[in-house]
Amino acid sequence: MEPPSTSDHPPPDPEPPPASDPEGAVIARVLAARPPCHQPDPPAVDAGDDAAVLADGMAWTVDTLVEGRHVDGRLSPEDVGFKAIAVSVSDLAAMGARPTTALLSLALPSPDPAWLDGFARGVGEALARWDIRLVGGDTVQTDGPRVITVTLGGPVRDRAITRTGAHPGDALWVTGTPGLAGAGWRRADPPAEALAALRRPDPPVAFALSLAADALPTAMMDLSDGLGTDVPRLAAASGVRLVVDPGRLPDHPALADDPMGHRFAGGDDYQLLFTAPAWATVSLFALARAHGVDLHCIGRATVGSGAALPDGSWPKGFAWFAPPAPEGA
């Protein structure tokens, strides 16, 4: 993660992202062109985490869904509306922030009242679910597919939980069933539970805020792009090695045809991935029980870098961007 910029110095050149992270490469090119900023109060958490946290304690995130790419006919217009809000709720929760305020931008190919009414109902359902106020946005016409962008803000509960604080010896935890939504996306004929997870993400917001209030996680992010992509991101941000034991991952009949593929390359979980010291274990299970959250210890942090299974290998993750073509191709 890039350290916060200061008012006196241009932001330092970010570490070049690994070739395995083409999304990171796109973001790094934009961030590298940022000029010095002369505002007095730098952000508490700058670009590179699930959300930025400003000096006033508000966390902000933005997320885009492209029809045909991130959502398709497996989701109703209501599902798309609900999910557009839920994916950003997930990012704020992972910072220990309570979502309060949303902006919505829609690029639509043509007026389609039936689609729009369904979409609006889904948005409304999500706003009601998490008590979020929609305060504005933008609409444009496009020749391409529908594009939905949600900007979401909310105050950090106490102190922001970032991706950077994991220590060797910490345990690695995950909520929910990694891969369930991935099975909904990847399987030709997905079971109902997998489709439900894909259509209606349910980030554990109240649990995340309790974790933050009790300062239990040392590092936290939301699991959105699959274990194969997100565990290495958490390891890199914290400067530790994260070892995942697949035998400790929760099982589910919907994963049976390709358990490792759904879990590691599936994505769309919108659950929490975090590290915590061993002494926190009893408290973590008590909090999870109180919130009705399914919590699993799936591994640990060690000295080193990267992510690994116990045998040292690592399954390929999911990337929204295809890797860049080789030079000259």
Residues 291-310 interacting with Mg ion (rule: CB under 5 A):
none
> Reduced to 3 DSSP states, what percent helix, strand and coil does the chain have, rounded to the nearest 5?
35, 20, 45
In the bound complex, which residue of the shown chain has the CB atom lying closest to Mg ion? 50
Q: Which of these segments, 11-19, 44-52, 99-107, 291-299, binds Mg ion (CB under 5 A)? A: 44-52
- Of 67, 78, 91, 268, the one binding Mg ion (CB under 5 A) is 91
User: Is the Cβ of residue 59 or residue 132 nearer to Mg ion in the bound state?
Assistant: 59
DSSP 185-219: HH-SS--HHHHHHHHS----HHHHHHHHHTT--SE
What count of Cα atoms within 13 Å lies in the side-chain half-sphere of residue 41? 7
Contact between 10 and 3 under an 8 Å Cβ cutoff? The reply is no
- The DSSP bridge pattern shows strands 171-175 and 241-244 to be unpaired
User: Is the Cβ of residue 54 or residue 108 nearer to Mg ion in the bound state?
Assistant: 54
- Of 46, 63, 79, 222, the one binding Mg ion (CB under 5 A) is 222
Across 180-203, b (16+ Cβ under 10 Å) vs e yields bbbbbbbbeebbebbbbbbbbbbb
Q: Which of these segments, 21-29, 167-175, 220-228, 319-327, binds Mg ion (CB under 5 A)? A: 220-228
**Using CB atoms within 10 A of its CB, is residue 268 exposed (0-12), middle (13-18) or buried (19+)?**
buried
- Of 21, 50, 79, 268, the one binding Mg ion (CB under 5 A) is 50
What's the min distance (Å) between Cβ of 120 and Mg ion? 25
Contact between 151 and 62 under an 8 Å Cβ cutoff? The reply is yes
What's the min distance (Å) between Cβ of 220 and Mg ion? 10
Q: Which of these segments, 1-9, 37-45, 89-97, 124-132, binds Mg ion (CB under 5 A)? A: 89-97
Contact mark string toward Mg ion, 134..173, x via CB under 5 A? ----------------------------------------
Sites of contact with Mg ion (CB under 5 A):
50, 91, 222, 224
